[in-house]
Amino acid sequence: MILSQFEKQLNIKFKNQDLLHQALIHRSYLNECPNFRLGHNERLEFLGDAVLEIVVTEYLFHHFPDTAEGELTNWRASLVNSNMLAEVAEAINLENYIYLSKGEAKDQNSKARKYIIANAVEALIGAIYLDQGIRPAKKFITQNFISRLDLILENQLYLDPKSHFQEKSQKVHNTTPHYKVLSESGPDHSKTFEVGLYLDKELISKGKGSSKQEAQVKSAEKGLQKKGWKNN
């Protein structure tokens, strides 16, 4: 695979091309090509995760000196979570360059695929750090992650749906929401839960998921939409 176009897009010319290649190699690819000369990207992902976190942490520490630690932790989580990583991956067209098994390449819309792509962004950060040093790595993180902070703060996207709904319901209705399992279906190893979100006795919304927690989050997301609280 020729990655020169990807380098142009990143505005980074790698000294060691193997680092860029390895950042984009998922373990599944090597299952089909065991003699490929490079390894998978998991060690680079481990490094990139740490680089991303320290750069974001340092930025928040210096730019928000009066903000409490708990609040900064929430903001940081919103900048480095898997959803944000997946958004960045999409923005830089990383999926066009990643090495996957044929099976993984076909499975385009699964949660597993989303995590694979998100993890590859961390591996890319690790590769940039090793090849270019901390300044180019920090520049990449600033352009692709920290640049999204204003939008996150403006729309309170640092709150997970359950926390967001609870905050709004306490403020607007002076009531704390609660959740109730409405139904369970499927075998023990693959259950589907339906959970209702309530304010007092009023059913606000329902959500389904493979765990009670996931179903609660889905119902909170729907509740935010129904109440018109999603972006305020």
- Token pair for 30: 């090597």
* 110 neighbors 36 (Cβ within 8 angstroms): no
Sheet holding 192-199, edge to edge: 178-185, 192-199, 202-209
182's enclosing H/E stretch is: strand 178-185
Place of tokens 């590859």: 120
Q: Does residue 114 sit in helix, strand or coil?
A: helix
49 noted as active-site residue = yes
Of 18, 32, 45, 49, the catalytic one is 49
Task: Please return the burial class of 3, using the count of CB atoms within 10 Å of its CB with bins 0-12, 13-18 and 19+.
Answer: middle
- Token pair for 9: 């897009």
How many angstroms separate the CA atoms of 117 and 93, rounded? 10
107 noted as active-site residue = no
Of 45, 104, 122, 221, the catalytic one is 122
Which residue type is seen at 207? G
Q: Which residues are catalytic?
A: 49, 122
